[in-house]
Amino acid sequence: MDLSVAALEAVLATVVDPDRQKPLTTLGWIRDLAITGTHVTLTLAFPSGEPLQREFLDREVQRTLLAVKDVATVKLTWRELSTFKNIIVVMSGKGGVGKSTVATNLTLALHRAGHRVGLLDADIYGPSIPTMLGVMGRPVSLDGVQIEPLERFGVKLMSIGFLLEDPRSAVIWRGPMLAGALQQFLKDVHWGTLDYLVLDLPPGTGDVALTLSQQVKVTGAVIVTTPQQVATDDVFKSVAMCQKVNIPVLGVVENMSFFVDSAGVRHELFGSGGGAAVASFANAPLLGQVPMEQSIRECGDRGTPIVQAAPSSAAAQVFVAIAERLVEQITGVEPAAAPVIDRSGGTGKRRLPLVG
């Protein structure tokens, strides 16, 4: 028999996983099967956090392949596939509205509530997670297959910022590169099993949202806005984008909602109503209103977000409440399916509630 990948797949179909009582081929665990002369290489991809009889399967796969005439050697690589129970994207049409501040504090609040959490800095144009969480360093690979995420305050972290030689250097990404980088961050980082993976998206995220919705099941989006209408105009577009690519909007966070001065007087520096307007347009709850506070910025600049630095402060409690509402909101929301593109040409579409 001539060696062919199809022939080897056929023999591998006889190897049954004892836990699942299904052939490895049916489970989709066999990857990158290749033949060089009499040498066979393959990867066994298994889901993290589930039972695995690794030694048994290693032995069975080797034995089965070596029994094939003309197979002299087998090299088997194991690869753990991360399991994300929920993927949350934090987005906004605009930069500077506090996406990263919300993403980091939300992540830490979820962790402190007992969830297994990871944070992926997908803002490859302006990664700020390394600064906001005070982490520097280069991720390493322990198995030569996957990259180990960094860890801080019990949260797993990955950012393009960790991979740049000079954190101030600009990265020029084209659409496909961006999509590729994101896919690698999701696939090649050893996240393990997470209850929540939070993604801090770059501003103007139309294509990123689309890419993501095609690659993974996104549980939903948290939209960040400021109170004023100028900021919200762009934010409405990101809500519309989510709807187009079928990512549920889980809720809206209004950031820099108000400022309380030393005399205790509340000022609405950026106007009011933006968060409620976006929430109503998105048909989603307003998860919370975050005050404008010097300590929030300082904590971020110092690398310990306020939820971690001063968990009982009023500002931290706002993020904690936002995390709680988000979790409530997720219970009962189905993960996004493949996107449905609206080809109606605009009939029946809701008008953006822009105020002139």
Ligand X SMILES: Nc1ncnc2c1ncn2[C@@H]1O[C@H](COP(=O)(O)OP(=O)(O)O)[C@@H](O)[C@H]1O
Binding positions for ligand X, rule: CB under 6 A: 95-101, 128, 255-256, 290, 292-293, 296-297, 300
Which of Mg ion, ligand X, none lies near 118, with the C-beta cut-off 5 to 8 A by kind? none
Backbone dihedral region for residue 133 (phi beyond 0: left; psi -120 to 50: alpha; all else: beta): alpha
By C-beta, is 64 or 238 nearer to ligand X? 238
Given the structure tokens 């081929």, which residue do they identify? Answer: 25
Given the structure tokens 């509205």, which residue do they identify? Answer: 97
One-letter amino acid of 290: V
Q: What minimum distance in Å lies between the beta carbon of 128 and Mg ion?
A: 5
Q: What minimum distance in Å lies between the beta carbon of 100 and ligand X?
A: 3
Tokens in use for 209?
Answer: 């949202």
Alpha-carbon distance of 51 to 241, in angstroms, equals 39
Say if residues 145 and 77 touch (Cβ distance below 8 Å): yes
Q: What minimum distance in Å lies between the beta carbon of 119 and ligand X?
A: 13
Alpha-carbon distance of 36 to 205, in angstroms, equals 43
By C-beta, is 45 or 91 nearer to Mg ion? 91
Report if residue 92 touches Mg ion, rule: CB under 5 A: no
Backbone dihedral region for residue 347 (phi beyond 0: left; psi -120 to 50: alpha; all else: beta): beta
Which of ligand X, Mg ion, none lies near 121, with the C-beta cut-off 5 to 8 A by kind? none
Which of ligand X, Mg ion, none lies near 255, with the C-beta cut-off 5 to 8 A by kind? ligand X
What is the three-class DSSP state of 161? helix
Alpha-carbon distance of 107 to 319, in angstroms, equals 9
Q: What minimum distance in Å lies between the beta carbon of 256 and ligand X?
A: 5
Which of Mg ion, ligand X, none lies near 208, with the C-beta cut-off 5 to 8 A by kind? none
Residues near 309 by beta carbon (within 8 Å), at least 6 away in sequence: 299, 302, 316
Which of Mg ion, ligand X, none lies near 256, with the C-beta cut-off 5 to 8 A by kind? ligand X
By C-beta, is 100 or 238 nearer to Mg ion? 100
By C-beta, is 128 or 308 nearer to ligand X? 128
Which of ligand X, Mg ion, none lies near 290, with the C-beta cut-off 5 to 8 A by kind? ligand X
Which of ligand X, Mg ion, none lies near 293, with the C-beta cut-off 5 to 8 A by kind? ligand X
Tokens in use for 263?
Answer: 């005399």
Q: What minimum distance in Å lies between the beta carbon of 118 and ligand X?
A: 18
By C-beta, is 109 or 292 nearer to ligand X? 292
Report if residue 100 touches Mg ion, rule: CB under 5 A: yes
Compute CA distances 275 → 10, 205, 297, whole Å.
57, 19, 20
Going by C-alpha positions, the residue among 173, 188, 250, 181 that lies closest to residue 218 is: 250
Question: Around 157, how many Cα atoms within 13 Å sit in the side-chain half-sphere?
Answer: 29
Phi, psi dihedral angles at 131 (to 5 degrees):
-70, -50
Say if residues 83 and 194 touch (Cβ distance below 8 Å): yes
By C-beta, is 87 or 97 nearer to ligand X? 97
By C-beta, is 70 or 298 nearer to ligand X? 298
Among 107, 128, 159, 304, binds Mg ion (CB under 5 A): 128
The residue range among 86-94, 122-130, 146-154, 318-326 that interacts with Mg ion, by the rule CB under 5 A, is 122-130
Alpha-carbon distance of 237 to 348, in angstroms, equals 17
Q: What minimum distance in Å lies between the beta carbon of 96 and Mg ion?
A: 8
Which of Mg ion, ligand X, none lies near 195, with the C-beta cut-off 5 to 8 A by kind? none
H/E segment holding residue 193: strand 193-194
- The β-bridge partners of 151 are 156
The residue range among 71-79, 121-129, 188-196, 262-270 that interacts with Mg ion, by the rule CB under 5 A, is 121-129
By C-beta, is 145 or 171 nearer to Mg ion? 171
Positions in the binding site for Mg ion (CB under 5 A) = 99-100, 123, 128
